């Protein structure tokens, strides 16, 4: 059925009601008075937070309350909680716009890699004469390091220095000039981890510890300093950090890093799952989506990796598919663009798990994956297809994919190293499958050593430790001694790796080394004590009849993953959050609620009324696609602060695709976060609500959202996912 469309009459009526161009330029409806830099980011006021740790950074302000909010934002930054920190600093700016240090904190919360940084640090520099000498030095440090050309005010001391290295230089001078300033030392460690030796950083951390033993930055940065093979140095800080700042995701996430690097897989899983649940609970409470929460996709991917290491592929794959199914976003989570958002992290987790557990048919299908037409993605797809064909014994097909990789390598101009590694690895597995043992074993051995030298579990994109694959190849060829050596080397790369322990137990058994085989089997039984049934690596070891008992062979006691109930922390999987209450009036003055729209999807647009030409343009463009929305059982609602009478005048002449609704006191806008608490102004917002009354996606900001194809695509994804 063809629906009537509000163009051109709605556009004409609203434009007639709009103010003059001069008034528009002065009012800038929907935009921050400070410019585009503050049109992005959180727009709702912060709340007092507990369970985040404590730190203090004295500032100069005319409003005493600002110090409290600044300390909250500063403390949150010590845990990389950028979104919530930005809210705190924006509130500081609202309360005291002339506080230069508040602007400095805000600049740090958006980060120097953001396009917003320059405009914000410029505001700090403009006001710096009103703060103390100490505060000015911090402002100057960030401005000099990252924006040296700012109004011609700065000059890099060494133009050849990296920007982060330049900031470290500045922080060193501040710390030397202020030996009692523990915040200078904490920030120096944070920004200097890649510039300084670990022992030097530890010395600074111990100076902080003598004064503030529960400082969140102290324990967070110590974990980063020692994360890896020497994680034992940070074990105490892991537990303290999680205790003092456990209401945040990152203080749960980082201990998971350390425990996994040490092979404490059960403990790692509990911490990483706590981080996941904590962040999901925060997202639901704050109406934030996974693509807006910087660490959540990485966190969930890492949990999937740990679940793999615990022998729980179904849990891992479930997490990967949750990431793939989270809301897309044309800027933050677009499968057709490169990135590290939820989709890309979910894709990495899915492919890694399917290949690791040799689920070749599922890997070939790779449901949920959108392959881009780029050399990098063509290479990745060919690599996994080659591995799957080899695993299934389809050698001619595998050879085609290896040849495809070789061609991509020849044509590659950038990123040749990645193509070369994929090509060599796929070719080595094909050679072994063809019986070309000498060439295949030699190449796989070289590749395994190369991987070992640069292996990072952050989490790894590689589906397996290649020394484990080498060990299995030796076992298949009747060389258990060489196999045992390869498996031992694999356990140096990834401690307590279940796949390597399984191979080691079998290799030692073949060598007649029963006690050594029993020990390896016992270690496997501990790591995989809550593994899924039917894993061949575990079944093969059990079939040896070693009468092994679980052995804890890690540096530290662990709880058991799967035996600790974490449901009270928060949900494990992202779900759309319930839509806030809608309380609006139609053009006749009758109340309209979302409950009336049940069993239909809703496209809800908050616009700025007759005075906003961009809003008129948005409604017109969306209205053109009214039939397409109707085909997807989607009703179109548009809210503004215009009166019912104004809306009635705009709609004279017949029915239209949109229902124009009145939100006179901005009550609904506030509930849907289409209101800027910092500057007390209306915002553009476009919200997709499903037939169960849950918000699936939203965009709030200074500009109206115009991408109709994206909105229709998201509606289609929900329908397809429900089948």
Confidence of residue 546 (pLDDT cuts 50, 70, 90): very high
pLDDT of residue 380: 94
Residue 91 clears pLDDT 80, i.e. is over it: yes
d(CA 134, CA 179): 12
Which of 278, 307, 313, 314 lies closest to 293 in space, CA to CA?
278
More confident residue, 610 or 694: 694
State the pLDDT at residue 659: 92
Host H or E run for residue 686: strand 684-689
Beta bridge partners of 660: 638
H-helix segments, 511-625: 514-527, 536-542, 613-624
Say if residue 148's pLDDT is above 90: no
Question: Is residue 15's pLDDT more than 50?
Answer: no
Check: CB of residue 702 under 8 Å from CB of residue 715.
Answer: no
**Higher pLDDT among residues 58 and 152, named by residue:** 58
The pLDDT assigned to 345 comes to 96
How big is the chain by its Cα radius of gyration, in Å?
Answer: 29
Residues 488-497: pLDDT tens digits? Answer: 999 999 999 9
- 3-state class (DSSP) for residue 607: coil
The secondary element (H helix, E strand) that includes residue 70 is: helix 64-77
Between CA 308 and CA 104 the distance in angstroms is 42
pLDDT digits (tens, 9 = 90+) for 574-621: 999 999 999 999 999 999 999 988 889 999 999 998 778 888 889 989
Q: Can you tell me which residue has the tokens 């050679």?
A: 431
Which uninterrupted H or E stretch holds 253? Answer: helix 250-261
Residue 329 to residues 336, 578, 579, 671, 689: CA-CA distances in angstroms? Answer: 11, 19, 19, 22, 15
Tens digits of per-residue pLDDT, 633-656? 999 999 999 999 999 888 886 667
pTM of the model: 0.92
- Weakest mean pLDDT among 206-210, 248-252, 716-720: 716-720
Tokens describing residue 224: 């980063």
Q: Give residue-wise pLDDT tens across range 596-609.
A: 888 899 999 999 98
Q: Residues 343-365: what's their mean pLDDT?
A: 96
pLDDT of 295 > 70? The answer is yes
pLDDT at position 228 is 80
Beta strands 634-640 and 658-662, pairing class: parallel
Structural domains of the chain sorted by starting position, each given as residue range(s) with its CATH number in brackets: 9-33+580-722 (3.40.30.10), 45-263 (1.25.40.10), 467-552 (1.25.40.10)
pLDDT classification of 718: cutoffs 50, 70, 90: confident
Question: Edge-to-edge strands of the sheet including 601-606?
Answer: 577-578, 694-701, 684-689, 601-606, 634-640, 658-662, 584-585, 591-592
> Which of 74-78, 159-163, 530-534 has the weakest average pLDDT?
159-163
Mean pLDDT (whole number) for 689-711: 94
- Within 528-598, residue ranges assigned H as helices are 536-542
Tell whether the model's pLDDT for residue 22 goes beyond 60.
Answer: no
Peptide bond into 445 cis (omega under 30): no
Three-class SS of 100-155: HHHHHHHHHHHCCCCCCHHHHHHHHHHHHHHCCHHHHHHHHHHHHHHCCCHHHCCC
Q: In sequence order, which residues have a C-beta less than 8 Å from that of residue 329 and are 6 or more positions away? A: 289, 291, 341, 697, 699
For the stretch 526-541, pLDDT in tens is 999 999 999 999 999 9
Q: How far apart are CA 685 and CA 619, in angstroms?
A: 12
Compute the half-sphere exposure of residue 703: CA atoms within 13 Å on the CB side of its CA: 8
CB 372 within 8 A of CB 335: yes
pLDDT at 451: 96
157 has a pLDDT exceeding 80: no
- DSSP letter at 579 equals P
Residue 393, pLDDT score: 97
Tens of pLDDT, residues 508-517: 999 999 999 9
């Amino acid at each position: 059925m063809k629906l009537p469309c509000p163009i051109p009459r709605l556009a004409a009526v609203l434009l007639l009601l709009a103010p003059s161009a001069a008034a528009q330029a002065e009012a800038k409806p929907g935009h921050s008075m400070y410019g585009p830099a503050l049109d992005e980011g959180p727009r709702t006021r912060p709340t007092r937070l507990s369970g985040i740790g404590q730190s203090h950074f004295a500032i100069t302000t005319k409003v005493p309350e600002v110090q409290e909010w600044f300390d909250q934002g500063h403390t949150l930054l010590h845990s990389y909680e950028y979104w919530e920190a930005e809210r705190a600093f924006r509130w500081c700016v609202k309360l005291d716009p002339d506080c230069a240090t508040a602007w400095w904190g805000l600049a740090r919360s958006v980060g120097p890699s953001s396009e917003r940084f320059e405009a914000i640090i410029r505001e700090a520099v403009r006001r710096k004469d009103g703060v103390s000498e100490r505060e000015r030095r911090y402002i100057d440090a960030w401005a000099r390091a990252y924006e040296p050309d700012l109004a011609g005010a700065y000059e890099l001391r060494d133009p050849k220095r990296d920007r982060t290295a330049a900031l470290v230089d500045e922080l060193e001078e501040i710390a030397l000039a202020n030996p009692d300033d523990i915040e200078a030392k904490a920030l120096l460690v944070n920004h200097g981890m890649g510039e300084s030796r670990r022992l030097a950083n530890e010395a600074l951390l111990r100076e902080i510890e003598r004064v503030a033993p529960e400082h969140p930055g102290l324990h967070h940065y110590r974990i980063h300093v020692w994360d890896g093979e020497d994680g034992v140095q940070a074990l105490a800080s892991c537990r303290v950090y999680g205790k003092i700042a456990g209401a945040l995701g990152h203080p749960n996430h980082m201990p998971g890093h350390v425990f996994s690097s040490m092979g404490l897989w059960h403990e790692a899983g509990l911490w990483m799952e706590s981080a996941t649940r904590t962040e999901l609970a925060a997202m639901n409470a704050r109406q934030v989506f996974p693509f807006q929460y910087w660490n959540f996709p990485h966190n969930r991917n890492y949990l999937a990796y740990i679940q793999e290491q615990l022998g729980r592929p179904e849990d891992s794959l479930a997490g990967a598919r949750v990431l793939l199914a989270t809301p897309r976003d044309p800027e933050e989570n677009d499968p057709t663009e490169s990135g590290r958002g939820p989709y890309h992290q979910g894709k990495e987790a899915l492919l890694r798990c399917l290949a690791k557990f040799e689920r070749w048919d599922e890997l070939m299908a790779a449901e949920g994956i959108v392959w881009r037409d780029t050399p990098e993605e063509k290479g990745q797809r060919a690599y996994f297809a080659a591995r799957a064909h080899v695993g299934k014994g389809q050698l001619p097909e595998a050879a085609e994919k290896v040849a495809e990789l070789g061609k991509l390598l020849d044509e590659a101009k950038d990123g040749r190293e990645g193509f070369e590694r994929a090509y060599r690895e796929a070719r080595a597995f094909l050679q072994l499958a063809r019986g070309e043992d000498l060439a295949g074993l030699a190449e796989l051995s070289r590749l395994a050593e190369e991987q070992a030298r640069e292996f990072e579990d952050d989490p790894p994109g590689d589906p397996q430790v290649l020394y484990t694959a080498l060990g299995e190849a030796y076992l298949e060829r009747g060389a258990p001694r060489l196999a045992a050596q390869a498996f031992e080397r694999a356990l140096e790369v990834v401690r307590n790796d279940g796949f390597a322990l399984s191979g080691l137990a079998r290799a030692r058994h073949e060598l007649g080394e029963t006690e050594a085989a029993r020990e390896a089997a016992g270690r496997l039984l501990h790591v995989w004590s809550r593994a899924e049934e039917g894993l061949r690596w575990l079944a093969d070891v059990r079939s040896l009849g070693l009468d092994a008992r679980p052995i804890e062979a890690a540096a530290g006691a662990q709880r058991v993953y799967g035996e600790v109930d974490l449901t009270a922390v928060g949900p494990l999987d992202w779900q759309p959050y319930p839509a806030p209450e809608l309380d609006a009036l139609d053009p006749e003055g009758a109340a309209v609620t979302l409950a009336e729209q049940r069993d239909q999807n809703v496209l809800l647009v908050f616009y700025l009324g007759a005075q906003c030409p961009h809003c008129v343009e948005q409604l017109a463009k969306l209205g053109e696609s009214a039939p397409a929305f109707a085909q997807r059982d989607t009703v179109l609602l548009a809210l503004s602060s215009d009166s019912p009478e104004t809306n009635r005048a705009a709609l004279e002449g017949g029915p239209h695709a949109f229902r124009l609704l009145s939100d006179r006191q901005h009550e609904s806008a506030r509930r849907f976060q289409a209101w800027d608490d910092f500057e007390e102004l209306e915002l553009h917002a476009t919200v997709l609500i499903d037939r169960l009354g849950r918000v699936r996606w939203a965009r709030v900001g200074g500009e109206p959202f115009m991408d109709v194809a994206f909105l229709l695509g998201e509606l289609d994804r929900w329908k397809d996912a429900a089948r």
